[in-house]
Chain A
Amino acid sequence: MLDHCIKCNICTNACPVAAVSDRFPGPKYVGPQAQRFRRVGQPVPDAAVDYCSGCRICNLVCPTGVPIAELNARARAQMVAERGLPLRNWLIAHTDLIGRLSAGPQAPLVNALLGWAGTRWLAEQCLGIHRHAPLPRATRYPFRARKQPRLGRGKQVVYFHGCATRAYEPHVGAAALAVLARQGYEVLVPPQNCCGLPLLSNGDFAAARRAHMANVRHLWPYVQAGVPIVGTSTSCTLTLKEEAPELLDLHSHEVQAVAAATYDIFEFLRHLAERGELCDAVRPLEQELPYHMPCQYRAHRIGQPVVDVLSMIPGLRLKLSPAASCCGIAGTYGLKREKYALAQAVGRPLFSFITQTGSSLALCDSETCRWQISHATGVATKHPIELLAEAYEL
């Protein structure tokens, strides 16, 4: 794969991290270039690769198709395999566990504790989680499926909610269920766990493999029965579709089938629209809203399904964020003490775009991007599915 690199530097020019920091020598350098100097069984000689945020913009712009971000993720995993995963990274990578511990009746206590500056200072000192990093607020009522219908009756779809919807944003899940139900689908919410992306991006490939294989086990019966999997978190769906199989070298029939059956929710709705099956009974929304398409969503390489689907809402005008802009958070990257300022700097062009629109609401598909944008701009953010649910008056 690294053989395709012709050293053209286009990725280095496009990289949002290299643009703002000298600590990251750029995708070409840490990717196909440094890879020629790394050797399995020898310590990774460069720690700079850890400054790759994994946004995948390099992959998108590469004219010769080098999967640069994948090379970087593998190098980081090799480093973690050698040096071990630091406690901080272990914690923030286990989003599933953290979510389960904080959401529920104890949520107000957890939120109060994490809202207190002293705790955050301590967390920064002891763990290395930046005191200003945008942490989500846990919900008292974690997302749960309201009923569990049986497989194989009528039009059905599996909803993959991801860790964030369950522990922090059950309203996104509710909106998704309602919108899918409006299309005449029965929504199944089988047991599921973290997609494994935070583990992948922190280099814990072993744990990521366990997480992905558990999901494949959970989802396989549905896929076998021809039921598609739909998710609201663009990074979870990208992980199921390709990141986990590619990075973890999982290529079994089941893994491939699950990957092929997974859709981002707006990708799925756009398919319905193309077949004329999308309910178009929407009320007009006279609004102009900034919309940021997350990097992980662009990496799906499916165009702009949100723009396509929301165009049926009369009166709604979306202002698209600048091409190849990134909010900087990259999942857990911007939470880290040494990377917080960097992540903020990466996101600056996007933040100023959003504040300049003067809107009090912005749309973005990815949860961590929403938290970062709200944190940096003070503008409220929503998942586009919530807006669609409003338009359906759900």
Chain B
Amino acid sequence: MPYETEVLIIGGGATGLGCALDLALRGIGCILVEKGDLASGTTGRYHGLLHSGGRYVTSDPQSARECARENVILRRIMPHCLEDTSGVFVVTPWDDADYADQFVANCHAAGVAVQELPLAELQRRESLLNRAISRAFELHDGSADSFLAARSLALAVESAGARIFSYHQLERLIRMGDRVVAGVVTDRRSGEQQRIDCAYVLNASGAWAGRVAALAGVQLTLVAGKGTMVAMNHRMVNTVVNRCKYPADGDIIVPIHTVAVLGTTDLHVPDPDHYGIEAHEVALLLAEGEKLIPGLSRYRALRAWAGVRPLYQDSGQRGGADRAIPRTFKLLDHRERDGVAGLISLVGGKWTTYRLMAEEAVNLVAQRLGKLQPCRTAHEVLPVPATEHRAHLPPLRGAAARYGAQTEHKATWPINGLAQPWGQNEIQGLDADYYYLGQHLGAVEQSQAAGDLICECELVTRARVLTALEQGIHTLDDIRRTLRVGMGPCQGGWCVYRTAALLYEVQQTQAQDAPIDPNMALRDFLQARWKGALPILWGDQLRQARLDEQIYVGLLGVDLIADS
């Protein structure tokens, strides 16, 4: 019995989910399919920057403009996923000092709010930054939890009546003549195949978009630009720090949750599913990081990972470095481009602009379908998943206000009377209830759950793990994305066997559609963690890995688990 819907969305990253929500809110039926877990592709593999736009004012002003606009909207619709860290662009001795003025001028031109930060203020706020920094500019960067945002989006999608099939692999796109009319997907848990009839297929599969298009016989070439990142054990800075220069490798540090992420590199990879992390990439990130924070490479690195950017370049513009490819997105209507109707691809773009991408894609689809409802995603505040514990602490703003401006700096709006691309009323939204670093610590203390933690590093309580397990998982990695279990310093050393035990208990007490083997889940999780640890295995993290090895191999004999 085939499903029938108006739009079939391929890809459960931010873009696909954003499209699903936009469609659902406009009353257009849709089904989203994702081959893995939500946000398990590029969305969940980026450094977590909420762009102010500053990064692209020179290389890609269009992208900068979009980021600046979306930044304000995201702060309104998903404050619980964002941390209001603020961001600085700093001129180090390695950067062209003349670029700074050009940068400011470009910010003005692109409508990206900027103000110069006195160096004394910069040092007061971020004492570890290089004292040789000669100028600094503050912009409205932030950090974003893209996993949490994906789950909030999914909740909103489902409550708006659309369906999401994760762990469903798209096998075929069925064409009738020059029109795509259906997709066939396989449930990766049960192996069942399912046909989904639709009026449109919206290809939001990012770096995999070329493969999806190929299923419809359409050639779409994407450059998979691998970006490697390194997470450091704790936050050396609490502000996003960018080098004030033309975007290049290793020029940004993003404080997100409990870690500081060094980003990124940019290397072509032929296959978005298979790539390694090269030693020279890690070395470069640390060496560049040293220029921002002297001594940085002596701090503890937790792991390295990479994501693949879906970079799209119109044919005819080929050649040149990846960095030169615009970061802005492209909406490709294959009817006009290739003569294949019923297929639309959405490629390129940034996490920060996912909503705008969705809006434009859905505008096109809605127009074709003759639906006239306007986009509502800029104003619908996203729900908070049940697995999040929210600290009922006094709001940070009030608390920070009590201790005076000397302890907490808030960017003042509007900055230096610059023309704002948005109205004053929207700025009021900044008072919102952002995520802040101490949130989980405060919540655990309030619920006196310190003795009942499953993941100690990231302060995940048993109650939260059980909630997530009861919602059903396919791998233990799903729990990591949902709760950050295993993402802390011990990289699963203490929490994974506990989580696997809970998984076993939950599966014993309540029937699941497709029960999974806790032993295999445990082994797979450890294997994935190990992969991320290998590129940075020295010093403290090596010591940690040895302890983890003693626990899992020496004590528990995980290496003896037979393949099922």
Contact = CB atoms under 8 A, between A and B. Distances in A.
B547 interface: yes
A82 interface: yes
A41 B438 contact: no
B381 to A, nearest CB: 24
Interface string B541-563: 00110010000000000000000
Given A38-B441, A64-B543, A33 B238 contact: no
Contacts of A29: 450, 456
Interface stretch (A1-9, A313-321, A367-375): A1-9
A42 interface: yes
Interface in B208-235: 233-235
Contacts of A43: 393-394, 396, 399-400, 403, 438
Nearest to A82: B403
Contacts of B456: 7, 28-29, 33
A35 B490 CA distance: 15
A106 B258 CA distance: 55
A37 B233 contact: no
A48 interface: yes
Given A4-B540, A29-B450, A42-B400, A37 B440 contact: yes
Nearest to B459: A37
**Chain B: number of interface residues, binned into ranges:** 35 or more
Interface string A60-92: 000010000000000000000010000000000
A287 B232 CA distance: 57
Contacts of A44: 438
Contacts of B439: 45
Contacts of B407: 40-41, 82
A37 B441 contact: yes
Interface in B437-473: 437-442, 444-445, 448, 450-451, 456-457, 459
A64 B300 CA distance: 13
Nearest to B444: A46
Interface in A15-61: 22, 25, 28-29, 33-48
A256 to B, nearest CB: 21
A7 B493 CA distance: 9
Given A37-B438, A64-B540, A45 B235 contact: no
Contacts of B451: 22, 25
A42 B438 contact: yes
B258 A36 contact: yes
B504 interface: no
B408 interface: yes
A41 B490 contact: no
A46 B442 contact: yes
A3 B540 CA distance: 7
A6 B438 contact: no
B275 interface: no
A37 B257 CA distance: 8
B94 interface: no
A139 to B, nearest CB: 42
A66 to B, nearest CB: 10
A6 B391 contact: no
A281 B235 CA distance: 60
Given A6-B544, A7-B494, A37 B450 contact: no
Contacts of B409: 41
Contact of A3 (B125, B299, B394, B441): B299
A72 B399 CA distance: 22
B489 interface: yes
Contacts of A40: 238, 407
A207 B459 CA distance: 34
B246 interface: no
Contacts of A3: 233-234, 299-300, 540
A41 B234 contact: no
A251 to B, nearest CB: 15
Nearest to B238: A39
Contacts of B544: 6-7
Contacts of A37: 258, 437-438, 440-441, 459
A46 B258 CA distance: 16
Contact of B437 (A7, A42, A64): A42
Contacts of B494: 7
Contact of B540 (A6, A35, A39, A47): A6
A75 to B, nearest CB: 11
B530 interface: no
A45 B438 contact: yes
A46 B235 contact: no
A3 B125 CA distance: 21
B437 A38 contact: yes
Interface of A: 2-8, 22, 25, 28-29, 33-48, 64, 82
30 contacts: A3-B233, A4-B540, A5-B489, A6-B540, A6-B544, A7-B456, A7-B457, A7-B493, A7-B544, A25-B451, A29-B450, A33-B456, A36-B457, A38-B437, A38-B438, A39-B235, A39-B438, A41-B400, A41-B407, A41-B409, A42-B436, A43-B403, A44-B438, A45-B393, A45-B438, A45-B439, A45-B445, A46-B441, A46-B442, A64-B543
Interface of B: 125, 233-235, 238, 258, 299-300, 391, 393-394, 396, 399-400, 403, 407-409, 436-442, 444-445, 448, 450-451, 456-457, 459, 488-490, 493-494, 540, 543-544, 547
Given A7-B493, A42-B399, A43-B400, 4 more contacts: A22-B451, A46-B438, A64-B543, A82-B407
